[in-house]
Structure 1
Amino acid sequence: MNHHVQPVIGTASSRIYETLRRDLVGGQFVAGEKLAINALKERYHVGLSPLREALNKLAAYGLLVQENQRGFRVPKLSRSELDDIANMRLELEGMAFERAIQHGDDVWEAELLAAAHRLKRADTTLDKGEEWESLHSQFHRTLVAPCGSVWLLRFIEQLHDQFDRYRRLGPKMPTVRQTLDEQHHELVALALKRDSKAARALMDDHIQKSYQLALKRYQEHA
């Protein structure tokens, strides 16, 4: 009955993949750091096979760099990369948001209101830690969900993870964060009004403000 083995490895691999992904994006490892496989096995209480599978997937996704077929390193950070990521977010996320407004139905409207409500409640009750970050990601995903392109959504997800490596480098900045939080609800209002032009302009401004924040954090760490 060997067929029971594979799902277990698959599940363990998926679990460690998600945990490592969150930790890499959240800055639990230093940019440029070489990851020791044995240390990771101990830290995450995981076997070699699912761990290696997860590391290979994270390297393919761009959150790790694979070296000489065996070792893995956390990617370095650079100003030019941050600029590139922010520019791609402006183009792709703006386009996806416009398409979502065009194609989204009343189910999407309800999901958007729900995601915004959860995030607003979290703005006042949570300390902008991991739980808030999860709700924040979910909100941004919901904004563009009905854009009609699986690949576009996939690229945006990848860009967000790369962008967040910079954005989450430093301590929270409440005043900037408050402006960004307010913009979340303005984005929903414009989406519900189906005002795609104003919504795109606000999304662009939102990404620009986030970029300024991420750049400041990067410069403090460079």
Structure 2
Amino acid sequence: MELPERQGRMTTSSRIYDILRQDLVNGRFEAGEKVAISALRERYDVGLSPLREALNRLAAYGLLIQENQRGFRVPRLERRELEDVASLRRELEGMALERAILLGDAEWESELLAAAHRLKRADMAGRGEEWERLHVRFHRTLVAPCGSIWLLRFIEQLHDQFDRYRRLAPEAPEVRRVLDAQHDELVRLALERDGGAARQLMDDHIHRSYEVALCGIKA
């Protein structure tokens, strides 16, 4: 049985991990920026031990780089990395989608329709943090019944890496309209159990989003 002190530290570490993870994905730290632990302690009002645990987890996850005896740094934005992430997203997310369409039940269909509806309503209210949150939920719901916990973990990690680039990219309204329409089409194909067509559309969806995200890399 864990001691109450350790349980409390782990709870704090998990909370800070989640907050920092979102801040890193949302671009609230500059790419390549050195992360000062003293500044983070003050900014997030957290003790040194749980903060270091959270930073070590984020480094293992790939959202921070741990430098020997020099602390932590935010990864730079590089075209080569984005291409790699997008390529893996197309491969793994396409695979997961086909499996989800094969294995998903009526409850999944209801959850998918609800996720798509919430995303569309959020879009009407403006593309803020709520839309981003619901956009992540929609994509997670789409592949949720794929039957592989590890596949879902890899996809989630790739999404976070991809979104570091996408959220810094300039607005592209025309492409955005196409991507939004593809969300609806993905739902339709999933409900029709057309795994092959859905995978092809997902491949195109990720590629279009990649082209937008590419504009977020500074020359």
Which TM class, normalised by the smaller chain length? over 0.9
Give the structure 1 partner of residue 53 of structure 2: 53
Residue 173 of structure 1, CA deviation = 2.5
> Root-mean-square deviation (CA), in Å?
1.4
Tell me the distance in 1 between the aligned counterparts of 2:86 and 2:155. 11
Per-residue deviation, residues 87-114 of structure 1 (Å, max 9, x unmatched): 0011000000000000001111111011
Equivalenced residues, count: 219
Distance 1:69 1:153, change over 3 A: farther
CA–CA distance in structure 2, aligned partners of residues 76 and 158 of structure 1: 17
Alignment partner, residue 36 of structure 2: 36
SS of aligned partner of 2:29: coil
- Runs of 4+ aligned residues of structure 1 deviating over 6 Å after TM superposition are none
Structure-to-structure mapping, 1:190-209, within 5 angstroms: 190-209=189-208
Structure 1 residue runs of 5 or longer lacking an equivalent are none
Structure 1: distance between partners of 2:197 and 2:117: 22
Matches within 5 A, 1:1-222: 3-69=3-69, 71-125=71-125, 127-218=126-217, 221-222=218-219
Aligned partner letter, 2:131: W
Report deviation, 1:170: 3.0
Percent identical residues: 70
| Contact kept in structure 2, 1:123 and 1:181, CA below 8 Å | no
Q: SS in structure 1 opposite 2:66?
A: strand
Cα distance, 1:181 vs. partner? Answer: 1.1
Amino acid at match of 1:95: M
The answer to whether the 8 Å contact 2:170/2:215 transfers is no
Between 1:34-43 and 1:64-73, the stretch displaced more is: 64-73
User: Match of 1:217, SS?
Assistant: coil
Distance 2:7 2:114 in 1: 33
